Structure 1
Amino acid sequence: MDRVPFLSMVFMFISCIVGFAIPIILFIYFRKKKHADIAPFFIGVIVFIFFAMFLESSVHRAVFALPFGETIKNNVILYALYGGLMAAIFEETGRLVAFKFILGKNRDKNINACMYGAGHGGFEAASVLGLTMIGSLALSVSINNGLISTILDNVGGNDLTQLKDTVNTLTMSPSYIFLLGIVERIFAVILQISLSVLVWSSVKGKRYLFIAALLIHFVADTLIVILNGFHVPLIFVELIFGVISIIVALFSRKIYVEEC
């Protein structure tokens, strides 16, 4: 059994630390430098957990349990379209509910849109990057200590296939790959904050911006899943994602300046 390179584990650890640091740094920045309220940050966290991690995940489980669920999972295009649509609907609806019904008292400060995005995107970074890297590090230790065979013997079905794929990724991937998650999460946070500004502005009167946020989220997620599904090199995927995030950020900044 191949071993996980030490440098890969070092980069996993760095990515893990950065994943958990992102929401802390964002919170401090928007609170201390921009004087945003505290509540929008934590509402962003709660809404992400409820709408994305609970509601959206529940729908996924229900859909994939249906007869056509396997068809969706086994077709890159269908899976990308479905996943992009669900992510856009649940996350942007969550933003809309938060801004319209929960954070009404905080709408006097437009910076609170960014603070909400920091909570939403920051918690996503901590869970997607931080927690994932903890799992990868634990599995890497098991592989390097010769314990992976015992683990594989106790797993079956799709879980076994996924675990073997993960082991291959950890042992065969170039070490730098484990730093790309940092880049991806930074771009993702930029996009999450930008989308928050658009939905915030839609609640304050520019209703078409909610549709814009839905479409942007759908297109971005769908495109990235398709690129990954067709095994486009990760560096190019992140480059494309970065370009999208920056374009959306510039558009959102224009809207934000108009609101101010």
Structure 2
Amino acid sequence: MGGLSLFFIALTALISIGFPIVMIIYFKRNYNASLLYLVVGALVFTIFQLLIRIPLLNWLGGQFWFYTYIVQNEKLYIVILALTAGIFEEIGRYVAFKFLLVDKREWENGVIFGIGHGGVESIILVGVNYLAFILISLHLNFGLFENIVGLLPNIDTVTPLLQETAPTLYLLAGMERLFTIIIHIGLSLLVLGSVRVGKVTGLIVAIGLHTLLNVSILLISSNIWIVEGIIGIGAILSIIYIHRKKSLWKFVI
């Protein structure tokens, strides 16, 4: 593997793990954001996505009717994947804000909830894997960590993929995590706003936006540049929304 690939792998690992940590420190120090909101945000992703949705989809994938009529219909399966992600994650946020986080439903706490939600996703799904990629890359280039690398799962499959992947794709993975965390913050504020006004409109909009974004990404997944462009646009719109909510919620209880 080339040095540029190793550099971008390390950079993506740093972004995936370091960016949410830096944001946590910033919002705690500057806005005194609640660590309870942070922890619950992380738990919502872990429970509703990793412990409920993914096992449920895996179980359904083993059912004849689901595999025959859903999985083998590529576009329908994409819609199902996108819709279930939106439903489970956004309802998870709503349940947390409505029934668990009943105090201090303020802007900074909605933000740090989103950091917890997107941050744990970033660390678990990307950061940990890229730390393993660093070990494999150092082993391939310098013969280091042979004993550790030998214990990694699917090493015979992963190694050729790492060698064949273009360096820029490793960098894009890091940028995607950054964009995605920002989007999670925006969606968290949207759902929190729904709870604050006692309506489900924001929840429905969040499910729709989440689903639409995922459908768009999955349908054109063959062109990584367009995919990242869509996610980047989503992040920019989220930043605008986050900033607007900061101004509005100063004057609304």
TM > 0.5 fold call: yes
Q: Distance in 1 between matches of 2:169 and 2:162?
A: 10
Indicate whether 1:49 and 2:42 are aligned. no
Give the corresponding residue for 1:21.
Answer: 18
Kindly tell me: are residues 248 and 75 of structure 1, through their superposed partners in 2, closer, same or farther at Cα, counting changes over 3 Å? farther
Q: 2:88 aligns with which of 82, 87, 90?
A: 90
Unaligned 5+ segments in structure 1 are none
Letter of the 1:215 counterpart? G
Letter of the 1:247 counterpart? L
Matches within 5 A, 1:14-163: 14-71=11-68, 72-107=70-105, 109-140=106-137
Q: 1:221 aligns with which of 203, 208, 214?
A: 214
Percent of residue pairs identical: 28
SS in 2 for 1:104: coil
Q: Distance in 1 between matches of 2:205 and 2:114?
A: 16
Indicate whether 1:187 and 2:179 are aligned. yes
Report how far residue 126 of structure 1 moved: 1.0
Unaligned 5+ segments in structure 2 are none
Report how far residue 221 of structure 1 moved: 1.2
Letter of the 1:18 counterpart? I
| Pairs aligned (count) | 240
SS in 1 for 2:34: coil
Give the corresponding residue for 1:177.
Answer: 169
Give the corresponding residue for 1:238.
Answer: 228
Q: Distance in 1 between matches of 2:96 and 2:118?
A: 15
Report how far residue 245 of structure 1 moved: 2.5
Report how far residue 207 of structure 1 moved: 2.8
Kindly tell me: are residues 15 and 122 of structure 1, through their superposed partners in 2, closer, same or farther at Cα, counting changes over 3 Å? same
Q: Is the 8 A contact 1:26 1:122 kept in 2?
A: no
Q: Distance in 2 between matches of 1:115 and 1:99?
A: 13
Q: Distance in 1 between matches of 2:44 and 2:125?
A: 16
Kindly provide the CA deviation profile for residues 117-167 of structure 1, in whole angstroms up to 9, marking residues without a partner as x: 01111111111221121233344456666x9xxx8xxx9xxx89xx74x44
Letter of the 1:11 counterpart? F
Report how far residue 79 of structure 1 moved: 3.0
Q: 1:5 aligns with which of 2, 7, 11?
A: 2
Q: Distance in 2 between matches of 1:11 and 1:69?
A: 39
Kindly tell me: are residues 172 and 178 of structure 1, through their superposed partners in 2, closer, same or farther at Cα, counting changes over 3 Å? same
Q: Distance in 2 between matches of 1:223 and 1:33?
A: 36
Letter of the 2:86 counterpart? A
Q: Is the 8 A contact 1:80 1:226 kept in 2?
A: yes
Q: Is the 8 A contact 1:22 1:125 kept in 2?
A: no
RMSD: 2.4
Q: Is the 8 A contact 1:198 1:213 kept in 2?
A: yes
Letter of the 1:120 counterpart? H
Q: Distance in 2 between matches of 1:216 and 1:85?
A: 10
